[in-house]
Structure 1
């Protein structure tokens, strides 16, 4: 599901395959519309360099290199008042040979649905960009089972205002929907998840770009 707030989006997704490994990325850049779109273009360009050209296939290393490149490109040094644009990003590398997923996130996590259980992979609380208290990105790994489902998302879905009281949709509500719909084919899940958020925001402006990606093993 990809629902830009404007014609140009600050959200983007990116895939790359190298041998048995598939790199899957979901990103949310600072802003939306044209400013967010320009950051998205920068992000795609940097990913092409880091992953395709440099062949870096470890999620936490991808994020570390991306952070360096964003800080250099935007002249971010940590000075007061300087530009703090950046990206929140979830990175998964799937190894088809050993059925394993490696994950690292910059303010963006992923959900794994296994039967009726939801496992949340939480991110490092740092962006791809400048942060006063910078910490290294960490990687988590899990062996995948047949029929596992992995969901990437940006905060536009869970932060959207709507409903009868004009409140945000909330992550807890999205988690419940993912469990409720897990037995359906992926195309039907997309239909219902998109219908839910569109119904929720009726009468309200869309506040951000919305991206939700689901993969089934």
Structure 2
């Protein structure tokens, strides 16, 4: 009866396999399932179920490029939480990158020496490698173990896997583009929120006094940086003037400037002297943020009755005073940036402002604007420009220098936030506002 038993076994095996490897039905069903599927996890589930039910593959290992780590990552299956990072310089991975079709693992012996990936796949009993490549890149590959019941991979199986591989590449690419589009939308929403926070912190208009004219301007960059400026009216009649630049971009920078402005206003309204204001502000920022987050800041108080201006500079670009006689002074006195190092002390200084003196405050978005030859606009050029145009009104000086900067660097919106305050002393000092 042995011949009969063998015939029955062969008939059963061939019938069993054929009903599960109807290639046309498999391809059509797989195509329908993945054509509009954008969830990478769901896509991996369908791939796994298709291969296990149609080809009787016992184990499937996914190796896909992960943008979050910049490397290829090996996962056992869709249920596995563990993952192993595969370095791009791994010899076997480089060999798989050269493949264009399903390939038996044993035929890749030239690429297995000193390969951690090869050792890992050997340990897991991998028999077949299914590369997934678009026109330019290796998106990843599937590592398939032996088939159930000891069946071997047939020529028909290999052909089917080749067709499915092309569909997998299309589906994976679409899923990645979909995820990228969602991330772009999220980032755009974050940028929009950060920009709104930034705009809400800026004064609606500069204060007006008979003794001086003030103008201000802030152009946000494409990514939203951390520039801000403010005018704080004190109970004793003095006017606080602040210009600052927080490190970072986007929402972290926006939150940093919001926190900095809140601390500044609290310290000013508490009546603290300027050196104490900066010392307390620095310590509060150190206690509430990491050392990578800091602020360059200039703060000064203008006494509109006497013309004295007291200030402290915490690592910010030096504001400029162009005197009536065209001499130039830089407001340097102060201390280090705020928020980076604990227990810092600051020093304030006073300068007397006279009729027709011009003060010019700015952030590094102005001085570091770069042309195609990678040449910065520079602080020296700012000084020369303000000196040349000191006879003009503050708003005109700002408009003219912005036009000059855009000739130097036509990028718009600018690469970095650009914030300017310009102030000019009039005929005398009055006790009241206009």
Using the size of structure 2 for normalisation, the TM-score is: 0.45
Larger radius of gyration: 2
Structure 1 counterpart of 2:287: 72
Report the Cα distance in structure 1 between the residues aligned to 2:303 and 2:262, rounded to whole angstroms: 24
How far residue 150 of structure 1 moved from its aligned partner, in angstroms, is 1.2
After TM superposition, the runs of 4+ consecutive aligned structure 1 residues lying more than 6 A away are none
Give yes or no for the alignment of 1:29 onto 2:246.
yes
1-structure distance, mates of 2:328, 2:257? 30
> Which protein has greater RCO, CA pairs closer than 8 Å, 6+ apart?
1
2:219 match: 3
CA offsets, 1:143-171, max 9 Å, x none?
Answer: 11122111111111111111x62211111
Match of 1:79 in 2: none
**Aligned positions of 1:1-217 closer than 5 A:** 1-6=217-222, 8-18=224-234, 19-52=236-269, 54-56=270-272, 58-74=273-289, 83-108=291-316, 109-115=318-324, 116-131=326-341, 135-162=344-371, 165-202=373-410, 206-217=414-425
Shift in Å at residue 197 of structure 1? 1.3
Superposed displacement of residue 8, structure 1: 3.9
Q: What CA distance in whole angstroms lies between the structure 2 residues aligned with 1:184 and 1:205?
A: 26
Structure with bigger helix share is: 2
- Deviation string 1:68-89 (CA, Å, 9 cap, x unpaired) is 1101112x5xxxxxx4211000
Larger proportion of strand = 1
List alignment gaps of at least 5 residues for structure 2.
1-216, 426-434
Structure 1: unaligned runs, 5 residues or longer: 77-82
The answer (yes or no) to whether the contact 2:286–2:341 under 8 Å persists in 1 is: no
User: What is the alpha-carbon distance in structure 2 between the residues aligned to residue 22 and residue 42 of structure 1?
Assistant: 21
Which SS does the other structure have where 2:373 is aligned? Answer: coil
Q: Tell me the residue number matched to 2:102.
A: none
Aligned to 1:80: none
Contact 1:161/1:204 (8 A) holds in 2? no
What is the deviation of 1:111? 0.9
Cα deviation per residue 1:107-129 (whole Å; 9 max; x = unaligned)?
11211111212111114451111
- Kindly tell me the number of residue pairs found equivalent between the two proteins: 206
Q: Quick check: 1:110–1:150 contact (8 Å CA) kept in 2?
A: yes
Please, what TM-score do these two structures have when normalized by structure 1? 0.87
